[in-house]
Amino acid sequence: RTFRIAAIPADGIGKEVVAAGRQVLDALAADSTGGTDAFALDWQEFDWGCEYYARTGKMMADDGLDQLKDFDAIYFGAVGWPTVPDDVSLWGLRLRICQNFDQWANVRPVHFLPGVISPLRKADDTELDWVVVRENSEGEYAGLGGRNLSGRGPGGEVAVQSSLFTEVGCERIIRFAFDLARTRTRRKVSSVTKSNAQQYGMVLWDDVFKRVAAEYPDVETESVLVDAMSAKFVLRPEDLSVVVASNLNADILSDLGSALAGSLGLAASANLNPERRFPSMFEPVHGSAPDIAGQGLANPIGAVGSAALMLEHFGLPDQAARLNKAIEKTTAAGVLTRDVGGSATTDEVTKTLIDALTP
Ligand code: NAI
Ligand code: MG
C-alpha cells in the first residue's frame, strides 16, 4: 500500500527532525518491499510556519485544511519562532489542524531507552513505560474568554480564560484510555484532575470516569489530583500504565514524563482522530527549540518515535516495532545527541538509526 503523507516541518528544529524522520521512514519503506506488510510513502511537503507568516501574514494557506484533508496522515515538526507571538503561531497552525480535524485524542508514550540516563536513576529504568492520554479538543485550551473585559484602561484590565468540559468530550477520551489499557500488560487507568479546586468541569470529568470505569471491571483504576500525580511520576512511576488527563494537565505531565525518561527530544506523540474522518497528525512532543536550531544538535528520536506511531495507525505494527527496535539499538550503542549526554549530531543519529533497521 502507498500512504500519502503531508509533511509540515514548520519552524526551528522541526525542519531538522522532520527531515531525519523522513529519511528513516523512506529507508524502512524501501526495505519493506516483498514482505506481507510492504508499504510505500508518497510525501508532499508544505512550507507553512513562521517564515510563511512573515511573507503572507498567515501561518498556513487559507485553504490549507482543504489541501490536507485527503492525506492519510500529517507528519509535523514544531511551530514557533521568536518573530511571531507564540499564541499566534500555535493557534494559526498546530491547533487549527488539531481542532478542525477533530484530533481529540493525543497519545504520548513515556518510554525509557537503554543507554539513556534518566534523572530517576532507578535500577530498572528501562522497565518503566507508561502512556499519557491527553484530551486534545477542549478543556483549558478551548480558547474561550477575552481580554479587557472591565473596559478600564491600562492597569485595570481584566481577562477571562475559561475551560470547557463536555460530557461527550470527557467520555470519549476516558473510554479511549480504557480501551488502550486493555491492550497493555498492566491494565490500569489513572485519571487526573484538580476537582477539589475546579468544581464544575473537573467534577463532571470525575463523574464520567466513575461511570465509564464500571464498564471495565477488568481494568484497575485510580483518581489522582494533578499535583499529587506530578509527585507520583517522580516517586512511584512503576505504578503507572495509562494516565488520562485534560488538555493542560496532560500537556504538563507529558513534558515531565519525557524529561524523566531523559529528554524532551525523545518523546513521541500522536494526535488522533479515532473515527478516521480526518487525517491524524504525528509529531514529537518538543517545540522548535530556537536555542539549538540550525546547529545539527536536535535529537531526532522523538520525531522517529512519532513515525512509529504513524505506522501503527496505518495498521503496520511490525514495521513500527522495527523502528522502535532501531531506536533502542541506537541509544544502547551510545549514539546520543547532546541533550542526552552524547556528542552525536542529528545526522549521525539518523544514519545509525537507518543502519539499525537491518538486523
Ligand atoms: P522546546 O521544546 O522547543 O525546548 C525546550 C528545551 O528542550 C530547549 O532547551 C531545547 O533546546 C530542548 N529540546 C527540545 N527538543 C529537543 C530536541 N529534539 N533535541 C534536543 N534538545 C531539545 O520548548 P520551548 O523552548 O518552550 O518553546 C520553543 C518554541 O516552540 C516556542 O515558540 C513554543 O511555542 C514552541 N512549541 C511548539 C510546540 C509544537 O509545535 N507542538 C510544542 C512546544 C513548544
Ligand atoms: Mg507541551
- Rounded to the nearest integer, the mean pLDDT of the chain is 95
Span 129-260 CATH architecture = 3-Layer(aba) Sandwich (3.40)
321-333 pLDDT per residue, tens:
999 999 999 999 9
On the question of a common fold for 1-106+266-359 and 129-260, the answer reads yes
Binding site membership of 300 for ligand 1 (Cβ less than 6 Å): no
Q: Which of 288, 343, 347 to mutate to test the pocket of ligand 1 (most atoms within 8 A of CB)?
A: 288
For the chain, give every domain's residue range: 1-106+266-359, 129-260
Q: Distance, CA 193 to ligand 2 centroid (Å)? A: 17
Q: Distance, CA 284 to ligand 2 centroid (Å)? A: 10
Closest CA to 26 of 333, 288, 321, 311: 311
**Domain 1-106+266-359 class, CATH top level:** alpha beta
CA distances from 56 to 6, 53, 60, 76, 82 (A): 21, 5, 9, 20, 17
135-164 pLDDT per residue, tens:
999 999 988 999 988 888 888 889 999 999
Per-residue model confidence (pLDDT) at position 36: 80
Q: Distance, CA 248 to ligand 2 centroid (Å)? A: 8
Q: Residue with the nearest Cα to atom 30 of ligand 1?
A: 287
Q: Distance, CA 247 to ligand 2 centroid (Å)? A: 10
Please state, in angstroms and rounded to a whole number, the distance separating the CA atoms of residues 301 and 76: 14
Q: Is the pTM of this model over 0.90?
A: yes
Of the ligands numbered here, which is closest to the C-alpha atom of 255?
A: 2
Mean pLDDT of the 229-246 span: 96
Beta-carbon contacts of residue 258 (< 8 Å; ≥ 6 apart): 108, 110, 264, 266, 267, 285, 286, 302
37-59 pLDDT per residue, tens:
899 999 999 999 999 999 999 99
Per-residue model confidence (pLDDT) at position 28: 97
Atom of ligand 1 at shortest range from CA of 82: 32
Of the ligands numbered here, which is closest to the C-alpha atom of 95?
A: 1
Q: Residue with the nearest Cα to atom 40 of ligand 1?
A: 78
Q: Distance, CA 339 to ligand 1 centroid (Å)? A: 12
Of the ligands numbered here, which is closest to the C-alpha atom of 257?
A: 2
